[in-house]
Amino acid sequence: MITRSAHEMAAALQSGDTTSVALTQAHLDRIGAVDKEVHAFLYVDTEGALAQAKGVDDSRARGEKLGPLAGVPLALKDVMVQKGVPTTCGSKILEGWRPPYDSTVVSNLKSAGIVILGKTNMDEFAMGSSTENSAYGPTHNPWDLTRIPGGSGGGSSASLAAFEAPLAIGTDTGGSIRQPAAVTGTVGVKPTYGGVSRYGLVAFSSSLDQAGPCARTVLDAALLHEIIAGHDPKDATSINAPVPQVVQAAKNGDVKGMKIGFVKELNGEGYQPGVRSRFEESLELLAKAGAEIVEVSCPNFEYALAAYYLIAPSECSSNLARFDAMRYGIRVGDEDGASAESVMNLTREVGFGREVKRRIILGTYALSSGYFDAYYGSAQKVRTLIMEDFTKAFTSADVLVSPTCPTTAFKIGEKANDPLAMYLNDIATIPVNMAGIGGMSLPCGLAPEDNLPVGFQIMAPAMQDQRMYQVGAALEAALLTQWGAPLLSKIPALAGGK
């Protein structure tokens, strides 16, 4: 049962073939068996999950109307607050904090009857592309335990690939949903900025952060997308418009007559050969399915990474200022006579990891008087240029596509001491965040040279998220026909699994 898709599990629950308690227990057992190897979870809420599952079963027994995924379990990225459940954001500084409130995403999940299994590992405060920056140790890629599962949401994607959960929530500031999806052979979607409420998502970079669905199939992602999306009066940047019809689009999956633009600048030099060949084969499949493939150019994408590493650190330097040992989290050096300032300094010194400190320093510098215009100001101008590139490209294509990342999963430790090499992982995903549009990654095969998953990225204009699902479903169907079985059926068995 645990290897099935979420909508198949939902069908089994609806038909009475299983119960949510049994399904939840099966996943808890799987976590117990394999998470020592994978380390996808920072916290498993066994009691809470079973209680929630029982609640759904009881509702179903009473004949109450339930949502399409009611009773299906989910893994929650630890950056999303859930009332009473430890939330660390992968950081020491928040160790032991139990939030007093639910994020809007969690409230939406709870009202849809989704069972929350626990909190997944991540790069500290979502800063990273490998989950190696977690203060609680790295997550391992279930395809090869010596490799990274992507980041920052490596815990969420690894939990899907390891069949510890059929659904997960991720957050994507520069690629933290899509890149982990790509390197674990799963599906991840960053909705249009403002499509899913950020209330209760611990902020890294407010103007870029966006929560989204992670799953093993395009349809599962769409079903989850509709549950978590929608206008939220508690988030001033939330879009007050109907949620795009993504489930319908995922069920439709027809690309006849659609124009698909591949971005010239997001392929070629720096991209692993196997990544390029799988990507190009997928383009051919889409063409066969009736889509028209066009080439588009986005010349300003070249500056996206540099601008991103000014905007995101600037915002993070301010967002992370609140971790001062006064109201929550750990407190260091609070001895007789210690001043508030010294306690705050010591706590931040001990509580934050290297990458977080690096970005706080970078951002503090970029916002400083005298440097603001040259750094933050210029970066915002680049952001406008990137938006203009997209606008122009979308006049000749309905969606844009590229490989999700330049390479397959690299070895744990390989890039840990080379921040620039690490940052390059997100070169193809960052433009989407900068423009506030939607992006999806779905698996398009294994790279022949290393037998590791390759991700295919689809980008759609703002508020046109359904287009990604339509194209994604078409490609997924074509690939499934070619492979005969889902890509994850090829994943090596874990020692703890049967």
Partner 1 sequence: MSLTYDDVIAKYEPVLGLEVHVELNTASKMFCACSTIFGGEPNTQTCPVCLGMPGALPVVNEKAIESSILIGLALNCSITPFSRFSRKNYFYPDMPKNFQISQYDEPICVNGYLDVEIDTDEGVKKFRVEIERVHMEEDTGKSLHVGGATGRIHGADYSLLDYNRAGIPLVEIVTKIVPGTGRYAPEVAKAYVAALRDILQSLGVSDVRMEQGSLRCDANVSLRLIGAEKLGTRSETKNVNSLRSIERAVRGEMIRHAELLNKGERVVQETRHFQEDTGLTRSGRSKEQAEDYRYFPEPDLVPVAPDAAWIEKLRASLPEHPSIRRKRLQDAWGVPDKEMAAMLNADALDLVEATVNLGADPTRARGWWLGEISRIANEKFCAISELSITPTDVAQIVALVAEGELTDKLARQVVEGVIAGEGSPQKVIDARGLKVVSDESALMAAIERAIAEQPETAEKIRNGHIPAAGALIGAVMKETKGQADAARVRELLLGHLGQPTS
Task: Kindly list the residues in this chain that would bind partner 1 in the complex (CB under 8 A).
Answer: 80-81, 87, 89, 94, 97, 99-101, 103, 198-203, 205-207, 233-237, 314-315, 317-318, 321-324, 326-328, 339-341, 344, 364, 367-369, 372, 376
User: Which amino acid, residue 301?
Assistant: F
User: What's the closest the beta carbon of residue 433 comes to partner 1, in angstroms?
Assistant: 13
Catalytic, 77? Answer yes
124, 244 Cβ separation under 8 angstroms: no
CA separation for the pair 183, 178 (Å, rounded):
9
Q: 62: Cβ–Cβ under 8 A, 6 or more apart, which residues?
A: none
Is residue 15 part of the annotated active site? The answer reads no
Min CB(192)–partner 1 separation in Å: 15
CA distance 355 to 132: 10
Active-site hit among 20, 130, 152, 402: 152
The Cα diameter of the chain in Å comes to 74
The Cα–Cα gap between 363 and 118 comes to 32
| HEC per residue, 367-406 | HCCCCCHHHHHHHHHHHHHHHHHHHHHHHHCCEEEEECCC
User: How far apart are the C-alpha atoms of 459 and 461, rounded to whole Å?
Assistant: 7
Shortest separation between residue 99's beta carbon and partner 1, angstroms: 7
Q: Which is nearer to partner 1, 354 or 372 (CB)?
A: 372
Residue 304, phi-psi category: left (phi > 0), alpha (psi -120 to 50), beta (remainder) = alpha
Shortest Cβ 314–partner 1 spacing (Å): 6
- Tell how far CA 329 is from the center of its chain: 25
CB-CB contact of 52 with 69 (8 Å): no
Q: For partner 1, which is the closer residue by CB, 137 or 233?
A: 233
Name the active-site residue from 5, 176, 197, 402. Answer: 176
Nearer to partner 1, 76 or 181 (CB): 76
Q: Which is nearer to partner 1, 55 or 230 (CB)?
A: 230
- For partner 1, the closer of residues 206 and 245 by Cβ is 206
Q: Judge whether 176 counts as a catalytic residue.
A: yes
Provide the minimum distance between the beta carbon of 88 and partner 1 in the complex, in angstroms, as a whole number: 10
Q: Which residue has the tokens 């010294």?
A: 342
Q: Which residues are catalytic?
A: 77, 152, 176
